[in-house]
Amino acid sequence: MSLPDPQGNDDRDDSLPFERLLAEISTLFINLPADRIDEEIAAAQKLVCAHLDIDRSTLWEATATDSEVFVLRHYHQPPSLPSPPQRMNAKEFFPWISRQILLGETIVISNVSDLPAEAGRDQETFRRYGARASVLVPLRVGREKVFGVISFNSTQRERSWTMMEVQRFEMVAQVFANALARKRSEQDLQERLRFETLLTDISARFLALPPDRVDDAIEDALRRIGESLGLELCLLWQWSEETGGLALTHLHRSRECPPLPSPMDVDTHFPWARERIAAGEIITVSSIADLPGEAARDLETCRRIGVRSLCFLPLSAAEGTSFGAVSFCCLHEQSAWPETIVSRLRLLAQVFTNALARHRADRMVRQAEQRLRLITNALPVLISYVGPDLRYRFNNEAYRTWFGVDPESARGRTIAEVAGEEFFRSAKPYLERALSGEAVRCTLEGLTVNGRPLSLEAFYVPDLDERGGLRGLCILGLDVTERNLALQEARRLQDELFHAGRVITLGELVGTLAHEISQPLSAIMSNAQAARRFLAAPAPDLGEVLEILDDIVKENVRAGEVITRLRSFLRKENMEVKPLDLNAALREIAVLLRSDARQHGITTSLELDPQLPAVLGDKVQLQQVMLNLVMNAFEAIKECQAPERSVRIRTWSQGQEILAAVTDSGKGIAPEEIEHIFRPFYTTKPRGLGLGLSLCRSIITNHRGRLWAENNPSGGAIFYIRLPAAPPANPA
């Protein structure tokens, strides 16, 4: 539908009453699509002017960003008159009138010259554009905010407007206002939708973005927002880790925008804004002229770039972490930054914040992993992490040297695939224990990729969540091959040394031991000769001969016993640890010592606890210690002339420990030497080696026990041995 043509086509009807015209115009607008409203307003304006004898009419709409800046939408006037400006700031052109218009009042001016003195600026504008009388009606819907103004002017003469005329102008203004309001709200809605779609688009893009594309995506988003909202300069600032200031990291600059100072940072160029951003404030500055005095530096920057209005929004996450700020600048006009725009920019800031937070978290995870890799690669230890499926999630470089596997390619493969089936089989029982939540330490044997035998001390440490569920296992492996070989060698050398110690000790006993053997031998000899004599008699007493033979057997047993002890004592065997009866071991040595004791008039007493628990140890080594201690005791007695010459050998138990002591009535030990005597090669004897006690201490320490010496208050020395009792035998 179109309105009747006022210039007089076929259906022109000059007598159409105004009410009918108005009714038709109103009806026309009811279902008119929004994009046709403007063209129909233009037509209607022309028609109304013709009808009401108006030679000039202008219709202005406030801009979206500033309610006092008006854009000329429609005008109707004779071609001879100067065209009105396309855009006007009401404060500059009509300061007096616009104040009232914005309050919603109609202004009726019959003669422009009658305007009051304070409306001088307004008067001037009227004159410049040739208006002599004018009615100005605000455009608004109900009591809502005025969003425009329509003027009806007479350019030929002054005119006193009738009440009826003014009412008609107001009615026309209302019809136009309604139509325009509908157009505006539809446009608004569309714009909101467009913006929301843009925002959703941007957020969605950030979601699945690889870290190296985040920067491009931020710049692209700034460009799209800038273009969509007509903002020439959009900047993103982030806190710099080096300087602690806000540095410019991303920007969109329209073609009209001059180059920015470089480098640019908030601290230098917008110090006033920086303080506010740090406090989490949003800053909107409609006109840079409104910047406070203390923002002189900020103002200078704006002037340099040509910024006329600007808005800063902090980028802060909900939990308070601040990532920086975004700022948007208008260069071509001032912007009042209405709430509709600011709320959209806030949403955008949120999208950026989320993207930066995710980016930062990703970066931190990557850095942490790099650090972990650096540390774990520097260690000569096999380090990995497997999931509950025993597939590797992390491996260090040691996997390359030990198993010939690239740590990256090991990820996702099973232990059996990487370390070999055989190795996995030996590790499996321990892995199963670790999978059930127990921290396991074990030694595994295998081969490296070069075929070198490998002894691995492995630690399987379960990684449990708060509820005790297994997340995976941390695996550490130490190559103990060389350590084990060195240990074996050390043990062998030690055994040799202990053996040498025994040889030396027995060497010292050789004289008395020869006596110990030769005595029974000569007894056997004289018994055998006696038996012979008996048997040579004409009527031999066989009972007597039998007794002699019994004696021979006894003496033989005695000599045999000494030889057996000697042999077992001199045997060169590896240390064999098992529960043993210390008392019995002591009795055996007593056999080797009795001649020596007798020869030097020393009484040896054994006070052995019959309830003594077993001790865990090597029998020969413990005998070696006791023999040494007793022989030292004999020597200490030989060296002094004390009337009492005795050595006591005692055993007893105390809790889970077994104690043995050798007490002598010898010369005792000088207090300052009591610790020195255990040092190797420490001796006070002219022909001593000084090795006995140091070997004894090594042996006892190897048995997790302790050997020490004290002086007996009544004279002589006491050597103590403390050893852990063997755990009770398993009833099974």
- Binding region for ligand ADP (CB under 6 A): 632-633, 636, 664, 666-669, 677, 682-685, 688-694, 717
User: Other CB atoms closer than 10 Å to residue 466's CB: what's the count?
Assistant: 5
* Shortest distance in whole angstroms from residue 717 CB to ligand ADP: 4
Nearer CB in complex with ligand ADP: 173/602: 602
Nearer CB in complex with ligand ADP: 453/507: 507
* Shortest distance in whole angstroms from residue 678 CB to ligand ADP: 7
Nearer CB in complex with ligand ADP: 95/680: 680
* Shortest distance in whole angstroms from residue 410 CB to ligand ADP: 56
Nearer CB in complex with ligand ADP: 512/632: 632
Nearer CB in complex with ligand ADP: 481/683: 683
Percent of the chain that is helix, strand, coil (3-state, to 5) = 50, 20, 30
The strand order across the sheet containing 603-607 reads 603-607, 646-654, 657-664, 717-724, 706-711
Residue type present at position 550: D
Q: Please give the DSSP secondary-structure letter assigned to residue 647.
A: E
* Shortest distance in whole angstroms from residue 504 CB to ligand ADP: 8
User: Other CB atoms closer than 10 Å to residue 201's CB: what's the count?
Assistant: 12
Question: CA–CA separation, 662 vs 669, rounded Å?
Answer: 14
Question: CA–CA separation, 235 vs 254, rounded Å?
Answer: 12
* Shortest distance in whole angstroms from residue 461 CB to ligand ADP: 46
* Shortest distance in whole angstroms from residue 679 CB to ligand ADP: 8
* Shortest distance in whole angstroms from residue 659 CB to ligand ADP: 17
Rg (the chain; Cα; Å): 56
Question: CA–CA separation, 176 vs 156, rounded Å?
Answer: 26
* Shortest distance in whole angstroms from residue 413 CB to ligand ADP: 59
The stretches of 394-480 forming alpha helices (DSSP H) are 398-403, 407-410, 415-419, 421-435
Nearer CB in complex with ligand ADP: 427/677: 677
* Shortest distance in whole angstroms from residue 617 CB to ligand ADP: 20
The answer to whether the beta carbons of residues 280 and 311 sit under 8 Å apart is: no
* Shortest distance in whole angstroms from residue 491 CB to ligand ADP: 22
Q: Which of 458, 454, 448 is nearest to 402 (CA)?
A: 448
b/e map 357-378, b = 16+ CB within 10 Å: bebeeeeeeeeeeeeebeebee
Nearer CB in complex with ligand ADP: 14/672: 672
* Shortest distance in whole angstroms from residue 505 CB to ligand ADP: 9
Nearer CB in complex with ligand ADP: 67/712: 712
* Shortest distance in whole angstroms from residue 713 CB to ligand ADP: 15
Nearer CB in complex with ligand ADP: 291/709: 709
Q: What stretches of 96-243 adopt beta strand conformation (E)? A: 107-109, 133-139, 148-154, 233-239
CA-based torsion, 628, 629, 633, 634: positive or negative = negative
Beta bridge partners of 315: 324
Nearby residues of 683 by Cβ (< 8 Å), 6 or more positions away? 689, 690
* Shortest distance in whole angstroms from residue 668 CB to ligand ADP: 6
* Length of the chain (residues): 732
Nearer CB in complex with ligand ADP: 230/715: 715
* Shortest distance in whole angstroms from residue 680 CB to ligand ADP: 8
* Shortest distance in whole angstroms from residue 674 CB to ligand ADP: 9
Question: CA–CA separation, 228 vs 418, rounded Å?
Answer: 56
Nearer CB in complex with ligand ADP: 497/689: 689
Question: CA–CA separation, 3 vs 21, rounded Å?
Answer: 9
Question: CA–CA separation, 26 vs 474, rounded Å?
Answer: 80
Nearby residues of 393 by Cβ (< 8 Å), 6 or more positions away? 384, 385, 386, 387, 411, 472
Nearer CB in complex with ligand ADP: 102/597: 597
Quick one: which H or E segment has residue 162? none
Question: CA–CA separation, 706 vs 724, rounded Å?
Answer: 10
Nearer CB in complex with ligand ADP: 301/694: 694
* Shortest distance in whole angstroms from residue 374 CB to ligand ADP: 52
Question: CA–CA separation, 624 vs 619, rounded Å?
Answer: 9
Nearby residues of 327 by Cβ (< 8 Å), 6 or more positions away? 233, 234, 235, 237, 270, 273, 310, 311, 312, 313
Nearer CB in complex with ligand ADP: 287/684: 684
Nearer CB in complex with ligand ADP: 26/684: 684
Question: CA–CA separation, 491 vs 513, rounded Å?
Answer: 30
Question: CA–CA separation, 489 vs 404, rounded Å?
Answer: 30
The answer to whether the beta carbons of residues 129 and 103 sit under 8 Å apart is: no
* Shortest distance in whole angstroms from residue 622 CB to ligand ADP: 16
Nearer CB in complex with ligand ADP: 123/663: 663
Asked whether the bond before 263 is cis by omega within 30 degrees of 0, the reply is: yes
Q: Which of 598, 601, 600, 717 is nearest to 667 (CA)?
A: 717
Nearer CB in complex with ligand ADP: 270/719: 719
Q: In terms of DSSP bridges, do strands 603-607 and 646-654 run parallel, antiparallel, or are they unpaired?
A: parallel
Longest dimension (CA), the chain: 192
Shortest-Cβ-distance residue relative to ligand ADP: 692
